[in-house]
Chains A and B, each alone.
Chain A
């Protein structure tokens, strides 16, 4: 269809104006929907200054830069949990030790900071040893944290601040920890998760009825502690370090996922009880 130029010019001017008006109106309308995100403001990390990279750096600097970049990228997947050792409850009160701890006594002990890994947008998995309870969760203002624990395996799901990072690291393909190699260790710290490399020596796979998949027992002396989260150097989640009857062991994601699923399930459908007392208990 041929349209005369003045007619087309006037019509398309109206068309173009209409596009702009609709775009602005739609933007203003969509801006009314609040983002369901985290309440706290993330830390602003300044970029390096220009020409910083001209300075000569040693190989340790390269290692540090690599870990720094990886830690920054993966930080949203981890939440720091403050835990305290709960003193034994007075005998004869009929309550379980952990839930019956005195607040005054708890307040007098120093908190231990552990790193937890997000398994969903608002839940994170943490190692919670016996006689320990969660005192605070970074970014959550709650006097009584929402914790579902598997006391037998010393693992717990903790409600954490909502994040767009919905456990993609935990649910992605697992990282491989090879014996006699380096891994990345994620630990809790005051300002957030901390990352460092650690050398792992001998690893022996052990079948343990408490876990759905073999766990890797760390041989020899190691500077990783129970509760530490391990990543492969490629940045994939490789497991949690726990105490086991065989010694310090790495529980791989394959063994953790059924436990997480059971802890996330409604209370009535919780994990079938096992010899180690694996039923979920909410406190």
Chain B
């Protein structure tokens, strides 16, 4: 049964024109020539480049290794901004989760299955590869391997417009929802880092949820009582600053705090989720760009980061393919049921189509890496961020250049 939906979803839960338009300006002779020569996205309709491909290298250029505009001091002072940006991303994922939870929970199950498969395979690949290759570690192996797995599970499905075909629509919604499990599982990295008491475990599990609910309640009470649009924006941004600040102060995941607040605003009576989504559109893209610039500036070339790329990329490739296979099997059980989650005609959901769309990691992979950099010791955090940033750029390029050929053969 088709259900009306309020907006076409992109990664992290909202309309995202930046994802679509960056690198693909309005048709000009040069753009047309470039497109004809090289870049066509998965369906030949979507952007040729995603923000990660542009802003990660730009961040590297502005960072301490090149121009030094983003000096170590500036980067350390931007830590608070990173935390708030992560909580904003968490809110957007939470809003997407809250809506799909009502409308199509099987999609959440399929997306979680897909991300769980990716997490398991990348974690296993990293845990196998690290000791075999003799990689230096300043954190427990399992913690680092699990962090790689969580970063790898993020998908954006930005290589195609969600309205272009039913598979793209489903893939986009799966990509929205496959970030939920890794955000919740972030706590696992902390648990693997050191032995914890039951009290510590309880605090680590409960604190982000309590903080998220508190921020959610705060916003819910304020947003609809605002007397002007400007005042409302101040309330929204203030609530998100509280979310980020609380997470930073408690030392818990800002993504999880934001996710909880986002779900609260969606499920609570009223228009809080719409207000947040509308107002966040004004800051979402600058924050995404800032996150990518910071990640690029913190990128440090090292042999260790290069070595870890092997399990990260190969594991992610195998994980996404396996996960897409499992998710497509679940969603396509009785092929007509596929149309239940789209407004389009019924068509089988092929695992290779879904895998192709999910191959693009998007901004959330980098966001996870920035989050883990706050948790892990400096050396391991830098290696993780450098590996994930490089892997993200490579997978985005992979999605742009190779996947269209992959899919065309099958269509």
Binding site for B on A (CB under 8 A): 1-3, 5, 8-9, 11-13, 15-16, 19-20, 23-24, 26-27, 30-38, 41-54, 66, 69, 72-73, 75-76, 164-165, 168, 172-173, 233-236
Minimum CB distance partner of B309 in chain A:
A30
User: Can you sample 14 A-B contacts with CB below 8 Å?
Assistant: A12-B352, A15-B352, A19-B318, A23-B317, A31-B129, A31-B133, A31-B310, A38-B136, A46-B194, A47-B376, A50-B250, A72-B377, A73-B379, A173-B64
Cβ-based interface call for B27 (8 A): no
Cβ-based interface call for B68 (8 A): yes
A37 with B136: CB separation less than 8 A:
yes
Distance (whole angstroms) from the CB of A183 to the closest CB of chain B:
14
A35 with B321: CB separation less than 8 A:
no
Cβ-based interface call for B229 (8 A): no
Partner of A16, one of B132, B200, B325: B325
Which chain A residues lie closer than 8 Å to B136 at the CB level?
35, 37-38, 41-42, 164
Binding site for A on B (CB under 8 A): 64-65, 68, 71-73, 76, 125, 128-129, 132-140, 190, 193-194, 200, 203-204, 207, 248-252, 300, 302-304, 307, 310-311, 314-315, 317-318, 321-322, 325, 348, 350-352, 355, 375-379, 382, 410-411
Distance (whole angstroms) from the CB of A108 to the closest CB of chain B:
36
Which chain B residues lie closer than 8 Å to A37 at the CB level?
134-136, 303-304
A31 with B128: CB separation less than 8 A:
yes
A20 with B322: CB separation less than 8 A:
yes
Which chain B residues lie closer than 8 Å to A15 at the CB level?
352
A76 with B65: CB separation less than 8 A:
no
> Are A235 and B73 also in contact (CB < 8 A) when A35-B134, A44-B140, A46-B193 are?
yes
B377 with A47: CB separation less than 8 A:
yes
> Are A16 and B304 also in contact (CB < 8 A) when A5-B348, A44-B139 are?
no
B138 with A164: CB separation less than 8 A:
no
Minimum CB distance partner of B376 in chain A:
A47
Cα(A66)–Cα(B72), bound, Å:
12
Cα(A173)–Cα(B70), bound, Å:
12
- Number of residue pairs A-B, CB distance < 8 angstroms: 146
A47 with B249: CB separation less than 8 A:
no
Cα(A4)–Cα(B208), bound, Å:
50
B317 with A19: CB separation less than 8 A:
yes
Which chain B residues lie closer than 8 Å to A2 at the CB level?
411
> Are A233 and B193 also in contact (CB < 8 A) when A27-B128, A35-B304, A50-B203 are?
no
Minimum CB distance partner of B335 in chain A:
A5
Which chain A residues lie closer than 8 Å to B382 at the CB level?
73
B129 with A3: CB separation less than 8 A:
no
With A16-B321, A50-B190, A72-B378 already in contact, 8 other A-B pairs whose C-beta atoms are closer than 8 Å: A36-B303, A47-B375, A50-B251, A69-B378, A72-B379, A172-B65, A236-B71, A236-B72
Distance (whole angstroms) from the CB of A12 to the closest CB of chain B:
4
Which chain B residues lie closer than 8 Å to A72 at the CB level?
377-379
Partner of A53, one of B72, B250, B314: B250
Distance (whole angstroms) from the CB of B330 to the closest CB of chain A:
15
B137 with A42: CB separation less than 8 A:
yes
Minimum CB distance partner of A76 in chain B:
B379
B314 with A26: CB separation less than 8 A:
yes
B250 with A165: CB separation less than 8 A:
no
Partner of A42, one of B129, B203, B379: B379
Which chain A residues lie closer than 8 Å to B302 at the CB level?
164-165
Partner of B307, one of A3, A35, A48: A35
Which chain A residues lie closer than 8 Å to B200 at the CB level?
49-50
Distance (whole angstroms) from the CB of B352 to the closest CB of chain A:
4
B410 with A3: CB separation less than 8 A:
yes
Which chain A residues lie closer than 8 Å to B249 at the CB level?
53-54
Minimum CB distance partner of A121 in chain B:
B303
B138 with A42: CB separation less than 8 A:
yes
Distance (whole angstroms) from the CB of A14 to the closest CB of chain B:
11
Cα(A92)–Cα(B351), bound, Å:
85
Cα(A9)–Cα(B307), bound, Å:
36
Distance (whole angstroms) from the CB of A92 to the closest CB of chain B:
50
A50 with B194: CB separation less than 8 A:
no
Which of A50, A69, A236 has most chain B Cβ within 10 Å?
A50
A-B pairs with lowest CB-CB distance, top 7: A42-B138, A31-B132, A23-B318, A234-B73, A73-B378, A164-B302, A164-B303
Which chain B residues lie closer than 8 Å to A44 at the CB level?
137-140, 377
A172 with B64: CB separation less than 8 A:
yes
Minimum CB distance partner of B300 in chain A:
A168
Minimum CB distance partner of A3 in chain B:
B410
Cα(A1)–Cα(B408), bound, Å:
8
B250 with A168: CB separation less than 8 A:
no
A12 with B351: CB separation less than 8 A:
yes
Which chain B residues lie closer than 8 Å to A13 at the CB level?
351
A34 with B379: CB separation less than 8 A:
no
> Are A9 and B350 also in contact (CB < 8 A) when A3-B410, A27-B315, A45-B138 are?
yes
Minimum CB distance partner of A42 in chain B:
B138
Partner of B72, one of A30, A36, A234: A234
Minimum CB distance partner of B318 in chain A:
A23
Partner of A27, one of B73, B129, B379: B129
> Are A53 and B352 also in contact (CB < 8 A) when A23-B315, A233-B73, A234-B73 are?
no
A8 with B251: CB separation less than 8 A:
no
Cα(A31)–Cα(B203), bound, Å:
38
Distance (whole angstroms) from the CB of B126 to the closest CB of chain A:
10
> Are A30 and B251 also in contact (CB < 8 A) when A47-B377, A72-B378 are?
no
Cα(A165)–Cα(B386), bound, Å:
14
Minimum CB distance partner of B187 in chain A:
A50
A50 with B64: CB separation less than 8 A:
no
Which chain A residues lie closer than 8 Å to B133 at the CB level?
30-31, 33-35
Which of A47, A173, A235 has most chain B Cβ within 10 Å?
A47
